[in-house]
Amino acid sequence: MKKIALLGSTGSVGKNTLEVVAQQPDEFQIVALAAGSNIRLLQEQIKLYRPELVSVGSKELADELRHSLGASYKPEIVHGEEGLLQVASHPSANFVMTAVVGSRGVSPTLAAIEAGKSIGLANKETLVSAGHIVMETAKKHGVEIIPVDSEHSAIFQCLHGGRREDVAKIILTASGGSFRDLTREQLADVTVTDALNHPNWSMGAKITIDSATMMNKGFEVLEAHWLFDLSFDQIECVLHRESIIHSMVEYKDRAVIAQLGTPDMKVPIQYALSYPRRLGLQTEPLDLIKAGTLHFARMDFARFPMLKLAYECGRLGGTMPTVLNAANEVAVARFLQGEVTFLQIEQIVESVCESHDVVKQPTLEAIFAADAWARQAAAR
């Protein structure tokens, strides 16, 4: 039985995780939940999944939640940063699904690894921000990090087709996001509503904006670099508008192994939970005849400068990816609040990265300091 602590239960991956758990009651059990401020949904989740431990964003929300639950069933309720860490290291859990958004996932992920939990990683910002520390800690504790990001789950599955030392490169596919058919000029006056309308995937707001700027793919390049120990020259991106091929691995002999399927996050989520087994899942089977034609196009760095920047920051290493991520988090939040335009997201992120003095081989403290500095710089 997988006993799961779920960080970020009211987000998109969190909700999908709970649906997968509901489909497999003999395989998976929820023992702890952490959410931010969506108390109404969290209440429903608590009633359905009856966790032992629950964490919410603040003390006020924790009090509200305590009052709202009936007298017959009372989980332990904690809150804030400390609460998130408690859920991540909850003694009853043997698997932690990290589905919070942003670099705030770094500390709970490290806490879960140090507590020896298997990790389902749905929080790519954790690896972007502190990849070397997270991977080193996982190695030290003998903990397996299983990717949930659809592209990385695909690569993880394709890697079973050969020996790691025989891999030539990997190819990450990108749908192109909500603005894939617009020119740079047309991007000048796009709205938040336009940006949130992703053609293939239903996801949270932050990642949908990151897909539109292509920063998401840039982060995925960094995520793949750390997860699979590949150089940046071994990681390629290709536009594939149908999102049917979720990614590919090319071996030395030029054999390419791909993983395909209907775009549904429940597939990679369940695979992370059931690995190395495969379980039945209620989802749309892939209909290749209906799909008809699959399209591929070169990634244009001039059209998608955030992807180029991500490669540059990744190659520079140290605190540079930390700063890239933190600046982006703030810039995207400002766009969602209507404070800056879509193209200003790029301008903010570029200018913060340009003014950063990179720290090589940073400690965790140096990473948190760079993160905080970049947030301040991006807010100005």
- Point out which residues bind Mg ion (CB under 5 A): 149-151
Residue nearest to Mg ion (CB): 149
Task: Please state, in angstroms and rounded to a whole number, the distance separating the CA atoms of residues 48 and 44.
Answer: 6
- Comparison of 151 and 346: residue with beta carbon closer to Mg ion: 151
- Comparison of 218 and 362: residue with beta carbon closer to Mg ion: 218
Residues 6+ apart with CB under 8 A from 168: 234, 250, 251, 252, 254
Place of tokens 């140090």: 114
Q: Long-range contacts: 289-298, Cβ < 8 Å, 24+?
A: 291/242, 291/244, 294/240, 294/242, 294/244, 294/245, 295/239, 295/240, 295/241, 295/242, 296/238, 296/239, 296/240, 297/238, 297/239, 297/240, 297/241, 298/238, 298/239
Q: What count of residues does the chain have?
A: 380
- Comparison of 29 and 150: residue with beta carbon closer to Mg ion: 150
- Comparison of 151 and 250: residue with beta carbon closer to Mg ion: 151
- Comparison of 103 and 173: residue with beta carbon closer to Mg ion: 173
Cβ at position 110, least distance to Mg ion in Å: 22
Cβ at position 115, least distance to Mg ion in Å: 27
DSSP SS3 for 177: coil
Sign of CA dihedral 118, 150, 8, 4: negative
3-state helix, strand, coil in the chain (%, to 5): 50, 15, 35
Cβ at position 133, least distance to Mg ion in Å: 22
- Comparison of 149 and 371: residue with beta carbon closer to Mg ion: 149
Task: Please state, in angstroms and rounded to a whole number, the distance separating the CA atoms of residues 331 and 334.
Answer: 5
Task: Please state, in angstroms and rounded to a whole number, the distance separating the CA atoms of residues 83 and 111.
Answer: 12
Task: Please state, in angstroms and rounded to a whole number, the distance separating the CA atoms of residues 218 and 172.
Answer: 10
- Comparison of 224 and 352: residue with beta carbon closer to Mg ion: 224
